[in-house]
Structure 1
Amino acid sequence: MINMPTWQRYLDAQFGPPQPGQYRAQPEDFWVDEQLDFIPEAHGEHLWLRVEKRNQTTLDVVNTLSRLCGVTPRDIGYSGMKDRIAVTRQWLSVHLPGRDAPADLEQSLKSLGVTVVEQVRHPRKLKRGVHRTNRFVLRISGEAIHQEGFIRRWETLCQHGVPNYFGPQRFGPDGRNLQRAEALLNRGWRKRDDRQGMMLSTARSFLFNELLSERLADGTWCQPLAGDTLMLDGTQSVFNIEQADDTLSARAAALDIHPTGILWGVGEPSQGEIAGYESRLLQQYAALCEGLERSGVKQARRALRMRLLEPQLTWEAEAVRLSFALPRGSFATAVLSELIAVS
């Protein structure tokens, strides 16, 4: 069975490993607000609810709405999964064609720890991954924030970006989701065994993190290489290059474009220098790679680097409050891992 490795950090070479720190001592220390880039149309069969939850998962709220509205969980849409030990705001949709929501819906949700911040109708169900960014406000404390280089660590991340690792929550406690994914792919993936595709996602996330760690170790994680697929900052638009040049290097240094890594699946192999990274993944983790290909999941790309949007740091009594936004699918825990060693 694959054991969870320790992946390369960006700032260790310059500042050494971070000192111990704490975050999420209470849910209010980890605040997340999901940001759409469009406005619901105020009419239609779907009731869209912007809710605030505390100490609950997104699926907990889905199941609650299903029961209160008398619909199936499949009639409820959401864009992203939000943390449990946190205070989070996100949108969900409920398919209610030709009828209103229960009159006491807001009151019933509030009694269960879910506050309706806003509600509006829209013609379509909320689909996965349609939000643009997540806004985070994190409160951290401990030895790390008193470390001499703490502010310089933060400023370096703001200036040069952050390794876009999938966070530890993707892999479950002690990496058990990864071991479950490995076992499932070894015996042959079937939809009925993985309804939400979480095991496929876990395996692809692990392979991506492995590739990112290697490119961090050799210093190429934010530099275009021959055969790279590059992503435009703030979008999912990608383009392939045969060779890197000074213009592309300058755009990468300005955080305008980012190298990407493979999300393993069925597709054409990369060329040039990038082919070497992917062939090493295949050699080391053949069962995962081949199992993903047999599942039929399509190959995709993910940026190796994320840019902190509107970053702010505020000192409090014995704590620091960090505020920033990240593109959807990026993890705030990847930012924290560069600043503190979780104790």
Structure 2
Amino acid sequence: MQTLEPTARGAALSPPRALGAPPARALLRGAPEDFVVEEDLGFAPAGSGPHWLLRVRKRNANTQWVAGQLARIAGCRPREVGYAGLKDRRAIAVQWFSVPQSRAPVAWSAVREADFEVLEAHPHTRKLPRGALAGNRFTVRLGAPQGGGARLAADLEARLADIARRGVPNYFGPQRFGLDGANLARASEGLRRLGPRERGFVLSAARSALFNAVLAARVGEGSWEHLEPGDLAILDGRGSFFPVDRAADETLSDRCRRLEIHPTGPMWGKGTPATGARVLELESRLAAQYPQLTGLCVAAGMSQERRSLRLAVRELAFEPEADGVLVGFHLARGGFATAVLRELIEAAADSDVA
């Protein structure tokens, strides 16, 4: 069996920071309650239709397991349950699911189980598709050693202001690659040896590692937050992008400084990225370093797509507590809280960072 390119794991799991060494060390996720994520759908339930839209609170449970439990209660197949995205297991997560209406009525608002409960239930017109949300709100408790919450807040204040002003590199988090990079390691097996469910996870890991490698290179050269000739720029929180044919003028540069537009990196697929000049040269050179990963994406028939290199961190606030600091922020869909936290703190040895 072939081995994975030796630097792919490093690009995926330990890419370089952009804002310098973190100003403090803190405990991350000492308990599930220390990491709370709540989906922002961006739309209201329809109020009628053949599906139920369920707002569910889960604790220390993964999204797919909860979906299976909801299917059991609804009397439907697990694949008929919809959800916008996977949420962290070791956390408190409030997310939306859809289930088809069953012949026998279900009192959804009364559903309470050990690891999850249904908070709201609304009739809706269709199954909830992947990616159908505006973003996620996070509330993270950072534990301070020896009860030094006020000291930790003081140490973090300047870095938090920097993150609010500049954003952070939009790296895929380690959970994208499986436990200790296990999904990425399986990219060397090829598509034929992977089952349908495994195939999706491995392809996602391969594409994400290539993106992280390109972003890491641009962090290294300082261009991750600036528009370069040949870039494809994306509007913040949107899917539309446009080419930067020459050096960005003052208006474009100013919009980039205000986090309204960002440079993008490749989500690899067949063909060549639509970038140009030095940007295309960089992306092509890095793709050539990872032939197993690019070959897997091409063999699966995936198309070239783009993802923002920078992640704007909105509604950023913090509050000192006796034994830590509570940090809250909102990220657009697809953004990983780990991308923010790795620029803010060095996780203590007993943290759960997966």
Same fold at TM > 0.5 = yes
Instruction: Compute the displacement of 1:142 (Å).
Output: 3.3
Q: Secondary structure at the match of 1:277?
A: helix
Instruction: Give the alignment of 1:1-343 within 5 angstroms.
Output: 1-2=4-5, 4-5=9-10, 6-12=14-20, 16-96=21-101, 99-103=103-107, 105-107=108-110, 109-142=111-144, 146=151, 149-180=155-186, 182-184=187-189, 187-188=190-191, 192-194=195-197, 197-246=200-249, 247-269=251-273, 270-342=275-347, 343=349
- Cα distance, 1:168 vs. partner? 0.9
1:120 aligned partner, one-letter code: H
Contact 1:190 1:295 in 2 (8 A): no
Would the alpha carbon gap of residues 189 and 304 (structure 1) be closer, same or farther in structure 2, given more than 3 Å must change?
Answer: farther
- Per the TM alignment, residue 240 of structure 1 is displaced from its structure 2 partner at its CA by 1.5
Amino acid at match of 1:179: A
SS at match of 2:112: helix
Specify whether residues 114 and 287 from structure 1 end up closer, same or farther in structure 2 by C-alpha distance, changes over 3 A only: same
1:75-105 deviation line (CA, Å, top 9, x unaligned)? 11000111111111011000126x35434x5
The question of whether the paired residues in 1 share the 8 Å contact of 2:24 and 2:155 is answered with no
SS in 2 for 1:22: strand
Deviation at 1:273, TM superposition (A): 1.4
Q: Identity of counterpart residues, as a percentage? A: 42
Report deviation, 1:190.
7.3
In 1, Cα distance between the equivalents of 2:79 and 2:315?
A: 36
Cα–Cα, structure 1 residues 283 and 32, in superposed 2: closer, same or farther, change >3 Å?
same
Structure 1 residues 101 and 229: CA distance shift in structure 2, 3 A: farther
Q: Is the CA contact (8 Å cut-off) linking 1:75 and 1:94 kept in structure 2?
A: yes
- Is contact 2:24-2:156 (8 Å) kept? no
Q: Partners in 2 of 1:134 and 1:149 — Cα distance? A: 26
Q: Cα RMSD between the aligned structures?
A: 1.9
The code of the aligned residue for 1:162 comes to: V
Q: Which residues of structure 2 form unaligned runs of 5+?
A: 350-354
Structure 2 residue matching 1:111: 3-state secondary structure? coil
Q: Deviations over 1:214-269 (max 9, x none)?
A: 10110000111111111111212111121122232221111110000000112433
> How many residues are matched?
334
Superposed CA deviations along residues 139-178 of structure 1, whole A, max 9, x for unmatched, are: 0023697467521111100011111111111112221111
Q: Is the 8 A contact 2:234 2:264 kept in 1?
A: yes
Task: Tell me if the contact between 2:37 and 2:94 (Cα under 8 Å) persists in the aligned partners.
Answer: yes
Where in structure 1 are there 5+ consecutive unaligned residues? none
TM-score normalised according to structure 1 size: 0.92
**TM-score, with normalisation over the residues of structure 2?**
0.89
